[in-house]
Structures are given as C-alpha cells and as structure tokens.
Amino acid sequence: MSDQTRITAERRTEFGKGAARRIRRADKVPAVLYGHGTPPLHLALPGHDTMMALKLSNALLTLDVGGEEHLALAKDVQRDPIKRVIEHVDLVVIRKGEKVEVDVAIHVEGETAPETYVTVDRNEITVEADATKIPESFTLSVEGFEAGRHILAGEVELPQGVTLITDPEALVVNVTQAISEEALEAELAEAEAEAGIEQDAPETEDSETTEAGDDAASDDEKSEES
C-alpha cells in the first residue's frame, strides 16, 4: 500500500521557460498542484527528494508549503528523454478517504512448463482504490502453467476495498507453446517460397571441380590463340 512521503515545497512566483530553467539549475523541480476546485498552486520541489519519492508509481506525497500541508498524488511526471531527470510534475489534491483511479503495475513470477513461452499483454491494470491505500503492484504466479493457460484482468486478486476498472475479460498474461528451431526454419522457408525467394544451392565439390576445369580450358584456349 502507498506510504506517504513528506516533501517541503516552495511557492513559485516566476513562470515561463527561463524561470523553469533557473529552478532546475538550483536542483529543484517545477510543479503545479490542482484539484477539488482549488486555484492551481505553482511550486518548486527539492530535486533529490522528489526523484526518490517518485521512484514508486502512484506515490502519495504530503507537501509542506509554508507550514500548510497538502496531500497529493503525482498525476503526470515529465522527464528529460535522454538524462531521465524530472523536468516537471503535475500533482492532484487528495482528500483522506477519497477514491481514485490509478494504473497499477503487473509483475509475473514463476516457471512455466518446459517448451512454453510467457507473454505479458498488459503491464498494468486500472483500479479504483482509497488514495491512502493504493497497491504498489500485483504479482501473478505462472508456476507450472501449461501452454494454453492465461490470466484475465478479472482473475487478478485484489485487496479489500480495491475495485477493478479495466475490462475483466482483458488478457493480462498468456502462455503459449514455444516454437522449436526446426519449426521456425520451416516457417521461414515456407514464407520465402510464398514470396518467390529462391534459396541459393550450396556449393559442392563437383561444382568446384567443374569451375576449375572451365578455368583450365579457358587458359588452354588463350594459349592456342597466342
């Protein structure tokens, strides 16, 4: 379940790209807090503390802004595509006892039967939960699963008070028969044949001998001409 992380934030009075760059150079993160009909609150969050807090998805934050506390949930986290540092955070105000819709990660564990392959069709499912009791993840076991077994969203075991929003019939995990190397080569050959691609015949000793004889004959002909 979600643990609350306390972060001391500062109000922002400057806006725009230039102001955002100055905030980042000071190892802080521009952020905005909104929701429940309150005016947006523009903040600067401490860079390191924010990065550590948002390593967990659906992190619940207690923001201390000039002595006022705000319970918030990270709604959108923008990161630099190369450096992966946090550039901006959108936060929504949360009330204790409030239900929220969130995406919760799926983790698969266990070994399936020999010669089978596990496909995770959904890395997360959407649920509704108490804002202070959001599951960190759901762990699904595929131990001993044979080909043909699967897990649907409706089969994921949810904690009490958590409601599934994702379609219960949505496929989450699927176990199929692993294709052998021989079968893969046969499929490839069949596909090439359908596409009209001819395979080059492997060279043999006979073909090499013939080529050598042709070269010798050609040399003799040149000798006679000279």
Indicate the CATH number of 96-212 among 3.30.565.10, 2.170.120.20, 3.10.580.10, 1.20.1300.10. 2.170.120.20
- Give dist(CA 128, CA 88) in Å, integer: 25
Domain 4-94 belongs in CATH node 2.40.240.10: yes
- Per-residue pLDDT of the chain in tens (226 residues, 90 and over written 9): 555 689 999 998 877 888 888 888 899 999 999 998 888 999 999 999 999 999 888 888 999 998 899 999 998 899 988 888 899 999 999 988 889 999 999 999 999 999 899 999 999 999 999 988 899 899 999 999 999 999 999 999 999 999 999 999 999 999 998 876 766 677 677 787 878 765 555 555 555 555 555 555 555 554 444 4
Cα dihedral sign, 75-127-37-50: negative
Between CA 62 and CA 45 the distance in angstroms is 12
* Structural domain boundaries in the chain: 4-94, 96-212
The pairing of beta strand 4-11 with beta strand 60-65:
parallel
> By three-state DSSP, how is residue 64 classified?
strand
